[in-house]
Amino acid sequence: MKHCLPAAFAIAFIGAGVICAQSQAQPQETSQQADVVTAIKAGKLIDADAGAVLSNQIVLIRGDKIAAVGKEKDVTIPGGATVVDLSNMTVLPGLIDCHTHLADGSENGSGDPLTYLKKSAAEIAFESVPNARAMLESGFTTVRDVGAYRALNEVAMRDAIARGDIEGPRMFVAGAYVTITGGAGALTGAAPDITLPFDLRYGEANSPWEVRQVIRKLANDGVDLIKILSSGAVLEHGSNPNSQEFTIEELEAAVDEANHFGLRVAAHAHSTQGIKNAINAGVASVEHASRIDDEGIALAKKRGTYLVMDIYDEECIEAAGKAGAIPAEFLAHDAELGQIQRGNFRKAVEAGVKLAFGTDAGVCPYGTSGKQFAFMVKYGMTPMQAVQSATSSAADLLGHSDVLGSIRAGKFADIVAVEGDPTESAASVHLLENIHFVMKAGHIYKR
């Protein structure tokens, strides 16, 4: 998070990164599901791959996959198919948030990670169930969940969703933070004579070989990506977001070891040098990238590194500060950082750096990630670029453009719809804050 403010901080609830080549997050299609045929009549359809808006399209769905897309004269709707009439709406691919923390529990009003010492892992897990549903209903059919203080809670949530035990987005998960002792991903601030339970210190590593050991554990525990902390954090006791954590040798070891398991690496980094160290080490994405400088921007463009810049959640941090719901130490860490990040986001857009949508969901209430689109447009993106950041670009970062990110035959039937065209103007992009129709893998969750 900025970093990882626990979900405990979320003000209200509704109730790179990296993935394996064959993610465990994918649900298995039954023969009965494969027989289900649905046809969507779309008044407008956003082609995220081409960056174009098409009119009067038919999307034919068989089971959990898209079978065909085209004009009505080109796509025959079979007899017996269920027809969903969205002819007065704009249809677009299911949205993807590449920086979430869905398994971090629910609001308790303190905004302090130390509250995890007051709750069991099971309590945190059960509290997190509504987070997944809120995210799905807001139009995000896939998320990249980049760590939880309670290690492996994300893995359990991902698998529960894939089995159908609970409802939520398709999840690609990091499982735990790989962090130095006392670092941005560690639970700090407790008395020195308190021994933390294993899941709150699972990811600590202090040498290249210890980094490799942690990544081997994570791979064995079934994660989809590795999340490493390359700088200090905002929302952590005793941390300094302007510092660098992990040496370049440790970061290189992380990327190399992750590659052995087919995993990509997402690196949390606010500090200028921490960002460049992570890019030079070969990470797939840099999260936050608040103090990236011109050299870092050029380096990211040259290396093809994605930046995942959560430029909306500053609003929630400031609101929590005014309400006295966040430690003063965290506000001191955050001073001026949000505006610096937004200015650098504009520079990255102008430079043509790869940018993927990520909100640090949990800092702001779950189900409100759509509010970031307007900020991305305010700070330099076109509305179409903002949509693409959460669809085709996000799928590319995940490494799953073959099945996610656009409405194409052969891809998962992840489809959402809004009233009006969100790509028309800076004002219309706000439509993405109110998704009216949500389908994930051919199943309608919101109509």
Which helix H or strand E contains 229, and what residues bound it? strand 226-229
164: buried, middle or exposed (CB in 10 Å: 19+, 13-18, 0-12)?
A: exposed
223-232 burial code (b ≥16 CB/10 A, e <16)? bbbbbbbbbb
Mean pLDDT along residues 275-293: 98
The pLDDT tens digits of the residues spanning 82-111 come to 999 999 999 999 999 999 999 988 754 446
Q: Are strands 95-100 and 140-145 parallel, antiparallel or unpaired?
A: parallel
Residue 334 CA to residue 316 CA, distance in Å, equals 12
Give the list of residues 6+ apart from residue 6 with CB closer than 8 angstroms, or none: 101, 104, 105, 111, 112, 113, 115, 116, 149, 362
The model carries a pTM of 0.90
DSSP secondary structure code for residue 244 in this structure: B
The pLDDT tens digits of the residues spanning 302-338 come to 999 999 999 999 898 888 878 777 877 777 767 788 8
pLDDT value for 186 = 81
Q: Could you tell me the sign of the dihedral formed by the alpha carbons of 79, 85, 87, 89, in that order?
A: negative
The pLDDT tens digits of the residues spanning 127-180 come to 999 999 999 999 999 999 999 989 999 999 999 999 999 999 999 999 999 999
Residue 264 CA to residue 249 CA, distance in Å, equals 17
Which helix H or strand E contains 142, and what residues bound it? strand 140-145
Name which of 419, 358, 364, 412 is nearest 389 in CA terms: 358
DSSP string, 196-227: PPGGGSTTB--SHHHHHHHHHHHHHTT-S-EE
Mean pLDDT along residues 9-30: 39
pLDDT value for 324 = 77
Two tokens, residue 368: 């409100």
The pLDDT tens digits of the residues spanning 210-231 come to 999 999 999 999 999 999 999 9
Q: Domain residue spans in the chain?
A: 7-27+94-398, 31-93+408-446
Domain 7-27+94-398 has CATH 3.20.20.140: yes
pLDDT value for 116 = 82
Residue 43 CA to residue 345 CA, distance in Å, equals 33
Determine the straight-line distance between the first and last CA of the chain, rounded to whole angstroms.
32
The pLDDT tens digits of the residues spanning 380-429 come to 999 999 999 999 999 999 999 999 999 999 999 999 999 999 999 999 99
- Kindly indicate the confidence band of residue 442, based on its pLDDT and cuts at 50, 70 and 90: very high
With a cut of 50, say whether residue 10 has pLDDT above it: no
- Kindly indicate the confidence band of residue 2, based on its pLDDT and cuts at 50, 70 and 90: low
Domain 31-93+408-446 has CATH 1.20.1050.10: no
138: buried, middle or exposed (CB in 10 Å: 19+, 13-18, 0-12)?
A: buried
Largest CA distance in the chain: 72
Of all residues in the chain, what percent carry a pLDDT higher than 90? 74
Q: Are 111 and 9 in contact (CB under 8 A)?
A: yes
With a cut of 90, say whether residue 358 has pLDDT above it: yes
With a cut of 90, say whether residue 435 has pLDDT above it: yes
Q: Is the peptide bond before 443 cis (omega within 30 degrees of 0)?
A: no
